[in-house]
């Protein structure tokens, strides 16, 4: 079995929506998020601007997953902008991007499921995304029935990735095949 992959969304996972919580901006600040002003080209190449709320701790938490043998991969509508804009603000190294559609779930499936399936293949997978279609847990169960470790983590879009999610993924990584730091197979 190959090294486990952790697929990361941005919006609702690393960048929270203050409108999704009572108390809005005050509430996300209390959770440790900081405002960053984005003013550049969005993933589709058109000008975009707005406030992006990021939590500095997320960088350390994600590096911890990488150091425990997970290969981190972006699976977000931010595309390569996640590499050039999000990652530096969280102190993350560059890692691969799965090109996913820029639309929400339909017919019970995330629009990301096809590209993620093709990219990951039969590798162990932990997928962190706040916006799923509802059928992904059944798909994950089928993968587990085929002895492919699979975990779906769905944070609240106003709270984002929490330490409890990271602990769940760390436990899952322990159960999945052991790999060396950075996603290379252990000797």
Residue 23: which pLDDT band, with cuts at 50, 70 and 90?
very high
pLDDT of residue 45: 84
- What distance separates the 2 farthest-apart alpha carbons in the chain? 50
21-49 mean pLDDT:
93
Share the mean pLDDT of the chain.
90
Question: Which pLDDT score, from 0 to 100, does residue 177 have?
Answer: 62
> Given pLDDT bands bounded at 50, 70 and 90, which one contains residue 120?
very high
When pLDDT is cut at 50, 70 and 90, the band that residue 175 belongs to is confident
User: What are 59-95's pLDDT values in tens digits?
Assistant: 999 999 999 999 999 999 999 999 999 999 999 999 9
Neighbours of 9 (CB within 10 A): 29
Q: What is the pLDDT of residue 180?
A: 44
**Regarding predicted confidence, which is higher, 16 or 145?**
16
| E strand intervals along 24-162 | 34-41, 47-54, 71-74, 125-128, 150-153
What tens digit of pLDDT does each residue of 37-54 get?
999 988 888 899 999 999
CA pair distance 26, 29, nearest whole angstrom: 5
The pLDDT score that the predictor gives to residue 186 is 38
- Please determine, for residue 185, whether its predicted confidence score (pLDDT) is greater than 60: no
Q: Tell me how far apart the alpha carbons of residues 161 and 15 are, in angstroms, rounded to a whole number.
A: 9
Partnered with residue 40 across adjacent β-strands are: 48
pLDDT recorded at residue 105? 65
């Amino acid at each position: 079995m190959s090294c486990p992959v952790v697929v990361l969304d941005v919006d609702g996972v690393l960048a929270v929506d203050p409108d999704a919580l009572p108390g809005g901006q005050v509430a996300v600040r209390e959770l440790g998020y900081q405002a960053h002003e984005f003013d550049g080209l969005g993933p589709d190449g058109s000008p975009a601007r707005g406030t992006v709320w990021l939590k500095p701790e997320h960088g350390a938490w994600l590096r911890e997953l990488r150091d425990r043998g997970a290969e981190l991969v972006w699976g977000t509508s931010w595309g390569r902008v996640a590499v050039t804009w999000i990652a530096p603000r969280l102190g993350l190294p560059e890692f691969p991007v799965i090109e996913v559609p820029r639309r929400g779930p339909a017919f019970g499936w995330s629009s990301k499921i096809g590209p993620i399936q093709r990219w990951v293949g039969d590798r162990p997978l932990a997928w962190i995304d706040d916006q799923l279609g509802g059928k992904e847990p059944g798909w994950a169960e089928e993968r587990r029935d085929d002895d492919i470790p699979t975990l779906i983590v769905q944070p609240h879009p106003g709270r984002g990735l929490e330490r409890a999610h990271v602990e769940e993924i760390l436990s899952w990584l322990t159960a999945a095949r052991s790999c060396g730091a950075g996603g290379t197979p252990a000797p």
